[in-house]
């Protein structure tokens, strides 16, 4: 899932590179109340595997990713990135985790987020509450 607001050319690069390095993946773009949404119509016309959700206000990346998991909940694996982080190559660590997941092994990820972007003090507790409810 890609979080975005008022996307730039980097979002298009991001989608293009994801399709090149991960051709079997669907892409979910969650927009957090952009002023102009024409770019999303163009993206969906060009890329049939891209799903766009126009959310009112997702409270930055974390909220967009939670939104994606709640509204596009049929996927066994999710990867979350920002619209400005453009992959330049296939990532070996992701491939390793996907291979283990497909084999049925236990896969765990460690996510480190700056407090300011994860809701400030107590943000992790609030995040846990979101996933438990």
State the Cα–Cα distance between residues 114 and 47, nearest whole angstrom.
Answer: 33
pLDDT at 130 over 50: no
- pLDDT mean over 2-14: 90
Q: What is the pLDDT of residue 107?
A: 52
Q: What is the pLDDT of residues 25-75, one digit of tens each?
A: 899 999 988 888 888 988 999 999 999 999 877 777 888 888 888 898 888
Token duo for residue 19:
């399709």
**Which alpha helices (H) appear in the chain, and where do they start and end?**
9-21, 38-46, 60-71, 92-103, 123-132
Residue entry with tokens 């982080």: 85
- pLDDT mean over 93-104: 74
Strands ordered across the beta sheet of 50-55: 50-55, 27-32, 2-4, 81-82
State the Cα–Cα distance between residues 38 and 64, nearest whole angstrom.
Answer: 19
State the Cα–Cα distance between residues 100 and 107, nearest whole angstrom.
Answer: 7
The DSSP code for 56 is: S
Q: Which of 104, 106, 109, 56 is nearest to 78 (CA)?
A: 109
pTM score, whole prediction? 0.72
């Amino acid at each position: 899932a890609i979080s975005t607001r008022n996307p730039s050319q980097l979002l298009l690069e991001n989608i293009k590179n994801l399709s090149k390095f991960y051709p079997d993946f669907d892409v979910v773009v969650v927009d957090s109340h952009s002023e102009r949404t024409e770019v999303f119509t163009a993206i969906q016309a060009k890329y049939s595997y891209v799903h766009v959700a126009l959310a009112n206000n997702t409270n930055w990346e974390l909220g967009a990713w939670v939104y994606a998991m709640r509204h596009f909940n049929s996927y066994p694996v999710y990867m979350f990135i920002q619209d400005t982080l453009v992959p330049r190559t296939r990532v070996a660590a992701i491939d390793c985790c996907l291979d283990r997941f497909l084999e049925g092994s236990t896969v765990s990820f460690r996510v480190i987020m700056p407090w300011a972007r994860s809701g400030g003090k107590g943000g992790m507790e609030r995040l846990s509450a979101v996933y438990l409810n």
